[in-house]
Amino acid sequence: MNSKKYTTLFLDRDGVINHKIDGYVQCFSEFHFMEGALKSISLLTKYFERIIIVTNQQGIGKKLMKEQDLLFLHSQMILEIERNGGKVNKIYFCPHLSTSNCSCRKPKPGMLLKSKEDFPEIEFDKSYLIGDSNSDIQAAFSVGIKSFKVSKEYTLSDWTNEFLLD
Ligand SMILES: [Mg+2]
């Protein structure tokens, strides 16, 4: 495998990195990594120039959690990823309600466009996005990022193993 052949790997969070739960993951005790996710992120860190998480978190818009809670949860997630040899360069989250008509909530590509502003060297056509929802796939499609859909049956770990074999 050629290292750093692709520029950027975008990952959705819930259902890709961690298990979905009923409602919203509000603290780290409710955050459970999917099987193999930590190892996968570590392997993919060596392959991609950067890894960026893009996640809808309307639990904030619903006032079920504060932005501070999410930031703290993410700092704990990052610590665990780094302990396992992985690196996440940036996390973008949309805190808005699905009814707010913001430009960042997936399937809209606002978070992807913002990432390109922040990292102009990102090349969408040499990037991948892994998500578990149609909205992830639509957001990627609208800016020309190749995407893959994962699930409980075909996880990030399964995708990573196939991808790195190529
Ligand atoms: Mg998801």
Catalytic residue among 14, 69, 132, 136: 14
- To which H or E segment does residue 66 belong? none
The rounded Å distance from CA 118 to ligand 1 centre is 23
How far away, in angstroms, is 47 Cα from ligand 1 center?
Answer: 23
Which residue do the tokens 């969070």 mark?
13
Beta strands 48-56 and 6-11, pairing class? parallel
Q: Phi-psi region for residue 23, left (φ > 0), alpha (ψ -120 to 50) or beta? A: left
Q: What is the pLDDT of residue 19?
A: 97
Average pLDDT over residues 86-102: 97
What Å distances lie between residue 157 and 112, 132, 134, 136, CA to CA?
Answer: 23, 13, 19, 18
CA of 57 to the centre of ligand 1 (A): 10
Instruction: Report whether CATH 3.40.50.1000 matches the domain 6-165.
Output: yes
What is the pLDDT confidence band of residue 4, given thresholds at 50, 70 and 90?
Answer: low
| Distance between CA atoms of residues 65 and 22, nearest Å | 15
- HSE at residue 74, side-chain half, CA atoms within 13 A, is 20
Q: Where are the domains of the chain?
A: 6-165
* d(CA 132, ligand 1 centre) in Å: 5
pLDDT tens string 113-143:
999 999 999 999 999 999 999 999 999 999 9
Euclidean distance between CA atoms 70 and 115, whole angstroms: 19
Does residue 125 have an active-site annotation? no
166 catalytic residue (yes or no): no
pTM: 0.95
Q: What is the largest CA-CA distance in the chain?
A: 45
Tell how far the Cα of 55 is from the centroid of ligand 1, in angstroms.
7
Q: Which residues lie closer than 8 Å to 149 by C-beta, 6 or more apart?
A: 130, 131, 132, 133, 134, 136, 137
